Amino acid sequence: MRQKMADMVHRIQDEICEQLRSLDGVDYRQDEWTREEGGGGRSRVFSGGKVFEKAGVNVSVVHGTLSPQAAQSMGGGHELKGKDLDFFATGISLVLHPHNPMAPTVHANYRYFERGEGEKPGSWWFGGGADLTPSYLFEEDAVHFHTVLKNACDRHEVADYGAYKTWCDDYFHIKHRGERRGLGGIFFDDLNSASKDECFAFVEDCAQSFLSGYLPILERRKDLTYTEQQKDWQQIRRGRYVEFNLVYDRGTKFGLTTNGRIESILMSLPLTSRWEYCHEVASGSEEERLLQVLREPKDWLSE
């Protein structure tokens, strides 16, 4: 399974980057890196192209020995000790930040973990998900994104779209702001309730569904006209993105506590963002309309 998952994330990275390169009109910068404790990765970042202000697609295959702090941030709810602090982790993580404030930022991550030899009950699990973070609300985009994810879940008995949608809304909650980072999607962790192959098939399906979930939205929005005020609002929303990733995100914490590659860990942050003192939006505005669904998540597929 280690090799099967590593092969899959590299293939998906190639497929996604080929599509992004065609859209953006520029090539990515690639860095292949190694980690002193074991393993390494391949980071690809787009910047300065036609569509994306900054976009990154990373894969990693790492192993080593966890500190107790890192083991806690790794999750899984597993109280494994001694040699079981040895770990293996592989996955793909991507964040795409378009220039146009009408086009949403998107994030996806799919991963596989083992502790010890990965043979004991609870010593292996899959995790991941995808979520959409717009600056302006287009309900048809949210419906499309969630429909693609629900269809992927419905194809696998091990998956539960309703539970994963709620989990996503709860996980990407900026508690000090009382709002979600975006319009959600799915989020799951500790997935080991079926065989490794069944869980892998679901994760692979989700990863392969990414382009069909996001590219139609991007095509609709990337060339829309916008004002400087709308661009400023995008910068405010990107500030919220930064706040979540640096304060709450478990993946960021895990990377920093396992001596991960800093440039790859912080690749998810936007190129630019903005914080205004006591920023307020106008009543009845499109900005307020977005905030309403960030404060009270909506079931996009209920109608």
Q: How do residues 66-122 score in pLDDT, each as one tens digit?
A: 776 666 655 555 444 445 678 899 999 999 999 999 999 999 999 999 988 777 777
Q: What is the mean pLDDT of the chain?
A: 93
Region 3-9 average pLDDT: 97
Q: Which pLDDT score is estimated for 269?
A: 94
Of 78, 99, 107, 146, which residue is the catalytic one? 107
Least confident of 113-117, 199-203, 281-285: 113-117
**H, E, C per residue of 183-242:** CEEEEEEEECCCCHHHHHHHHHHHHHCHHHHHHHHHHHHCCCCCCHHHHHHHHHHHHHHH
What integer pLDDT is reported at residue 139 of this predicted model?
Answer: 97
Of residues 66 and 264, which shows the higher confidence score? 264
Average pLDDT over residues 177-204: 97
Confidence of residue 298 (pLDDT cuts 50, 70, 90): very high
pLDDT at 91: 97
| Beta bridge mates, 76 | none
Across 8-20, average pLDDT: 98
Q: Per-residue pLDDT for 123 more than 50?
A: yes
Q: Which pLDDT score, from 0 to 100, does residue 71 have?
A: 64
pTM of the model: 0.93
Judge whether residue 155 has pLDDT over 70. yes
Mean pLDDT, to the nearest integer, of 217-223?
98
User: Residue 151 has which token pair?
Assistant: 């269809």
Whole-number Å distance between alpha carbons of 277 and 66: 40
- The full set of domains in the chain, from first to last, is 2-295 (3.40.1500.10)
Mean pLDDT value across residues 277-296: 97
pLDDT at 218 over 90: yes
Instruction: Write down the pLDDT at residue 79.
Output: 47
**Whole-number pLDDT of residue 135:** 98
- Helical (H) or strand (E) element with 89: strand 86-98
Residues 77 and 190: beta-carbon distance below 8 Å: yes
Q: Decide if 107 is catalytic.
A: yes
Q: What are phi and psi of 240, to 5 degrees?
A: -65, -35
